[in-house]
């Protein structure tokens, strides 16, 4: 039992790190498919992630030393089906006709290990049926494969990291784990009568996606911005290898790449950037959008968020260089510019959060809408 406790504690320690790495791909996928992030769906998915981590650590932990494993001589496999039933009667005082022997038998390792192997895969079968909508045959097959993965992990000594398996490959574990998945399937059928179904969760997410959230807008722009940055860095690296890179050339490519991603691409993709297409968004406007509309829209956006603060800082630096601003006053000037920029970002974020128009949307009369319902 102490080994079980140690494995669970370790899983909870690793979970925040793995959840952090998992979050961005999960958000991207969810916004792409459903247009919004469902709190209920997130609870289910992250609970299943925690379960997978815990189950895996229960199988491999605690890790022994290689020297200890190399000195093992016991067989590392059991291919006799239902051997655990014989072991229960052999290693305990269980008598089927005597109820007084039942409870003491439950305390025996051979009994609670069999029960553990059943409970280990119940959440797996439950998730397959309730959330992934797998039928009995698929649940049975996937539960068997899931158990086989664990057993092969043990048989190969953690994928040949160890000279041999330090735990036993047991056909009984395959049987009990698969049975646990079937039990989970039955529990999932019960939950389907009580909790919202997967289809109901999906429908609510799609309905919610009609109003484009601020996080969805930011993520869409972030995809395009990151693609542009990597393109600029890639071209710059290539030109540097050819000794053709200079400051004017570098800034020239910034302009060219920005025009490509934020002006030419929306024309080619018909009102969508690459990020907007992936997240099922498009520009909405009463006028027939041309390339110069996108140029003006993103010029105002970049001016508000990037160029205006940089221009203010540059002007302050020039004044300082010409000794119009002293060193102390220049420091105060920088603080004021950064504070004003932060306030601008906060106000814009709040406007987006409450679905109010920002300055560049008011001027251009261009908005962003969801296309998910049209699919």
pLDDT 10s digits, 302-345? 888 888 888 888 888 888 878 787 888 888 888 988 898 888 88
If asked whether residues 140 and 216 sit together in one domain, one would say: no
Q: Which region holds residue 168: left if phi is over 0, alpha if psi is between -120 and 50, else beta? A: beta
Cβ burial of 305 (10 Å; 0-12, 13-18, 19+) is middle
Residue keyed to tokens 């160029």? 307
Report the range of poorest mean pLDDT among 39-48, 265-274, 311-320: 311-320
Nearest in space to 113 (alpha carbons), one of 134, 143, 84: 84
Residue keyed to tokens 């601008």? 344
What gap in Å lies between CA 80 and CA 67, rounded to an integer? 29
- Token digits for 104? 């003491």
If asked whether residues 44 and 128 sit together in one domain, one would say: yes
- Token digits for 15? 């979970």
If asked whether residues 259 and 307 sit together in one domain, one would say: yes
pLDDT digits (tens, 9 = 90+) for 127-180: 999 999 999 999 999 999 999 999 999 989 899 899 888 888 899 999 999 999
Give the pLDDT score at 74. Answer: 80
Report the range of poorest mean pLDDT among 19-33, 273-287, 331-345: 331-345
- Using an 8 Å Cβ cutoff, are 181 and 86 in contact? no
Q: Domains in the chain: how many in total?
A: 2
If asked whether residues 242 and 108 sit together in one domain, one would say: no
What gap in Å lies between CA 171 and CA 144, rounded to an integer? 11
- Token digits for 371? 């296309």
In this model, does residue 288 exceed pLDDT 80? Answer: yes
If asked whether residues 45 and 180 sit together in one domain, one would say: yes
Residue 170: strand pairing partners:
78
Of 180, 205, 230, at which residue does a domain stop? Answer: 205
pLDDT digits (tens, 9 = 90+) for 230-259: 999 998 888 888 888 888 888 888 899 999
If asked whether residues 183 and 290 sit together in one domain, one would say: no
Share of the chain above pLDDT 70, in %: 98
- Using an 8 Å Cβ cutoff, are 156 and 205 in contact? no
If asked whether residues 245 and 188 sit together in one domain, one would say: no
If asked whether residues 230 and 247 sit together in one domain, one would say: yes
Of 175, 205, 235, at which residue does a domain stop? Answer: 205
Kindly indicate the confidence band of residue 274, based on its pLDDT and cuts at 50, 70 and 90: very high
In this model, does residue 261 exceed pLDDT 70? Answer: yes
- Token digits for 271? 């009102």
Q: What are phi and psi of 78, to 5 degrees?
A: -135, 120
If asked whether residues 14 and 110 sit together in one domain, one would say: yes
Kindly indicate the confidence band of residue 49, based on its pLDDT and cuts at 50, 70 and 90: very high
If asked whether residues 344 and 240 sit together in one domain, one would say: yes
What gap in Å lies between CA 244 and CA 62, rounded to an integer? 56
Give the pLDDT score at 52. Answer: 95
In this model, does residue 104 exceed pLDDT 80? Answer: no
If asked whether residues 200 and 226 sit together in one domain, one would say: no
- Buried b / exposed e along 159-182 (16+ C-beta atoms within 10 A): eeebeebbbebbbbbbbbbbbbbb
What stretch of H or E contains 170?
strand 169-170
Number of H helices, E strands in the chain: 19, 4
If asked whether residues 178 and 251 sit together in one domain, one would say: no
Is 240 in a helix, a strand, or coil? helix
Kindly indicate the confidence band of residue 32, based on its pLDDT and cuts at 50, 70 and 90: very high
State the residue range of the domain holding 96: 2-205
- Using an 8 Å Cβ cutoff, are 323 and 329 in contact? no
Give the pLDDT score at 176. Answer: 95
């Amino acid at each position: 039992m102490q080994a079980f406790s140690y494995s669970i504690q370790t899983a909870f320690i690793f979970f925040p790190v793995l959840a952090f790495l998992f979050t961005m791909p999960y958000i991207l996928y969810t916004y792409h498919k459903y247009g919004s992030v469902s709190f209920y769906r997130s609870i289910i998915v992250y609970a299943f992630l925690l379960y997978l981590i815990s189950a895996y650590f229960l199988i491999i932990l605690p890790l022994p030393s290689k020297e200890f494993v190399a000195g093992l001589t016991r067989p590392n496999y059991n291919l006799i089906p239902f051997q655990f039933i014989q072991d229960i009667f052999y290693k305990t005082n269980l008598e089927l006709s005597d109820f007084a022997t039942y409870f003491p038998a439950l305390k025996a390792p051979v009994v609670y290990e069999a029960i553990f192997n059943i409970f280990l895969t119940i959440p797996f079968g439950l998730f397959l049926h309730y959330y992934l909508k797998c039928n009995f045959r698929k649940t049975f097959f996937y539960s068997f494969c899931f158990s086989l993965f664990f057993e092969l992990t043990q048989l190969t000594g953690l994928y040949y990291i160890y000279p041999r398996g330090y735990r036993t490959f047991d056909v009984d574990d395959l049987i009990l784990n698969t049975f646990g998945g079937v039990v989970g399937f039955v529990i999932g059928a019960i939950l389907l009568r009580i909790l919202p179904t997967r289809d109901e969760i999906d429908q609510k997410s799609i309905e919610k996606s009609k109003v484009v959230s601020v996080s969805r807008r930011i993520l869409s722009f972030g995809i395009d911005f990151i693609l542009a940055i990597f393109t600029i860095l890639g071209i710059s690296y290539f030109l540097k290898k050819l000794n053709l890179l200079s400051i004017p050339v570098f800034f020239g490519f910034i302009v060219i790449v920005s025009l490509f991603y934020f002006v030419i691409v929306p024309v080619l993709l018909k009102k969508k950037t690459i990020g907007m297409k992936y997240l099922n968004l498009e520009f909405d406007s009463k006028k027939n959008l041309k390339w110069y509309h996108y140029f003006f829209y993103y010029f105002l956006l970049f001016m508000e968020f990037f160029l205006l603060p940089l221009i203010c800082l540059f002007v302050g630096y020039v004044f300082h260089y010409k000794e119009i601003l002293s060193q102390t006053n220049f420091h105060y000037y920088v603080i004021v510019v950064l504070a004003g920029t932060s306030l601008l970002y906060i106000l814009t974020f709040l406007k987006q959060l409450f679905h109010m128009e920002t300055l560049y949307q008011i001027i251009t009369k261009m908005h962003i809408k969801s296309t998910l319902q049209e699919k």
